[in-house]
Structure 1
Amino acid sequence: MFKIGLDLGYGYTKGVNESGKTVLFPSLVGNAYQRNLIGLFGQNLNNLIENMHVVLRNGKEEQEEYFIGDLARREGRNVSYAFDENKINHPNTKAVLASASALLFPSNDEPVHIVSGLPLEQYIHQKDELREMLKNFKAIVEFKGYNILKIVRFDKVTVFPQAAGAVYYAIMDDLQKYLIKGSYIGLIDIGYRTTDYIVFVVDGKLSLREDLSGTLDIGMSQLSNAA
């Protein structure tokens, strides 16, 4: 089963697949329109990530068109982030999910296992809702102008606390350096809208200290707004 990992962040969408391909773009979505003068003034049309005009179909006749990421920031109309605390069923979330997944999917029809996460506090209350959304998600995704069409659906879903995933990633290259019995491992994960803090105690394995872990409703967006 082909594995992809997606972080549907408030500020940026990040992803990687088991072949090592990565995607990174702002989690911005805007209404699409026909760009009749595209390419006239030397835009770099070879870079799909910078020119994501996405058409989403749900298997019926209805379709929706969006500018995603850098194109939304540069040329979009009514551009917005999915900034709600519960963003799971927000249209913007589904648009960036479909776009990033289509870029990471295998070239064949191999089944796909998606791993995604939530900030710690949201994971406690919303993990089941996210899991169900991903299990039931299906979209036909077209990147307009690039002759790319993908059917996005997931055969297996794993939802994980984002900060815990960051801890595992940080220590996996040198486990013995960190797995000292009786010691503590802590991590602060500063995101665009929220900041996670998480602590594990080492007692033969990593055991979460839930009383020392949580989520603050503050992140890098406050710095952007202050500037």
Structure 2
Amino acid sequence: MAKAEVAIDVGYGFVKGVFESSRVHFASAVIRAPDLSVGAALGGMGGENVYEINGESYLVGEAALEAGAQRSWATDAAGRRDYPLLVAAALAKLRVPAGDIQLRVGVPLGHYSSGRAALRDALDGAVFRITDHTAKNTYFRVAEVRVYPQGVGAYAAAVADQPDLRRKPVGVVDIGYRTTDYLIVRHTADGRARPLRWGSADVGWQSVAAFCRDAVASDKALPINLEQIERALESGEFWWRGRRVELPLSQAEQELAQRVADAVQHAWRDEIDALAAVIVAGGAGARLAGLLPWPHVVVAPDPFYANARGYLLL
């Protein structure tokens, strides 16, 4: 029986999963489930974001954030503990058939060299027994795992969708929640792709939330935390003590686009002009592409899922 091939891209901000035609995403947050009885009295707490994984109950995604979890993961011991739990939740949300799976996952470019072996070891052969909020039980075993650098997946997806770019020199700028990954891809005489000038900058969509928080807090002397602003950016409005407060979103996006451009320009220098295209991907890619200063910017089709889609093509 063929093993299901699944791609799960665990970013600092969001988990993105792709299986056949199914796609899911949720916040990269997980926490042991608290007593849910009070939430049940109000019509349910957690709902589809409550999972029992290998005998322990967890909240994932937005429900975990509301329960006090921190968004994002790391490559330290805590991160290696949480990463498999986020993968398990994504498998359940994607409704992957039970049994052995071939798993494709990614890590930020800046952590690929140092973190891929530990991540592979944490997932290879892992067994997940999962019960969801409907009491459905599912069993998975990771029969094979491949770890890819984020950005490379986005490149693979982009050239598959736009084959005219396949053999041309292109740059990739993958703008995520906390970091921006970038690389240039050129080809050898025999057609092999060769990555150049790759790296990761510590700037991403979280910077927009931080800019808005600082601007509003400074202007109105309000004790606002970052999580409150992030929720407001997702909902489209920010309320404080009964008043709706306007957030300087446009200014924040322009500031982030400039920081991304500065980081990429510093790494690529004049090479940026010798490219057929600069492919922009990532959760913030579509929003910021028009603010970047280069005339040859191309937005990757379906930029939010570009890495996960690309992992299945590598």
Q: Same fold (TM over 0.5)?
A: yes
CA contact (8 A) 1:89 1:133 kept: no
Question: What residue number does 1:15 align with?
Answer: 17
In 2: Cα distance, 1:107 partner to 1:184 partner: 39
Report how far residue 112 of structure 1 moved.
0.9
Aligned pairs, how many?
A: 209
In 2: Cα distance, 1:202 partner to 1:90 partner: 34
Question: What residue number does 2:81 align with?
Answer: 91
Of Structure 1 and Structure 2, the greater strand share is in 1
Letter in 2 for 1:81: R
- Structure-2 change in CA distance of 1:51 and 1:70 (3 Å): farther
**C-alpha root-mean-square deviation of aligned residues, in Å?**
2.5
Question: What residue number does 2:220 align with?
Answer: none
Using the aligned pairs only, state the percent identity: 24
Question: What residue number does 1:54 align with?
Answer: 51
In 1: Cα distance, 2:76 partner to 2:184 partner: 24
Equivalences for residues 176-195 of structure 1 within 5 A: 177-180=164-167, 183-195=168-180
Question: What residue number does 1:60 align with?
Answer: none
CA contact (8 A) 2:73 2:82 kept: no
Query: Where does the alignment leave 5 or more consecutive residues of structure 2 unmatched?
Result: 213-314
User: Which is further off, 82-91 or 156-165?
Assistant: 82-91
User: Which is further off, 82-91 or 198-207?
Assistant: 82-91
Equivalences for residues 1-227 of structure 1 within 5 A: 1-18=3-20, 20-38=21-39, 41=42, 51-57=48-54, 63-74=55-66, 76=67, 78-86=68-76, 89-104=79-94, 106-109=96-99, 111-143=100-132, 145-175=133-163, 177-180=164-167, 183-203=168-188, 204-210=190-196, 212-227=197-212
Letter in 2 for 1:72: A
CA contact (8 A) 2:179 2:204 kept: yes
- Structure-2 change in CA distance of 1:91 and 1:127 (3 Å): closer
Give the TM-score normalised by the residue count of structure 1: 0.80
Report how far residue 206 of structure 1 moved.
4.7
Report how far residue 167 of structure 1 moved.
0.8
CA contact (8 A) 2:32 2:57 kept: yes
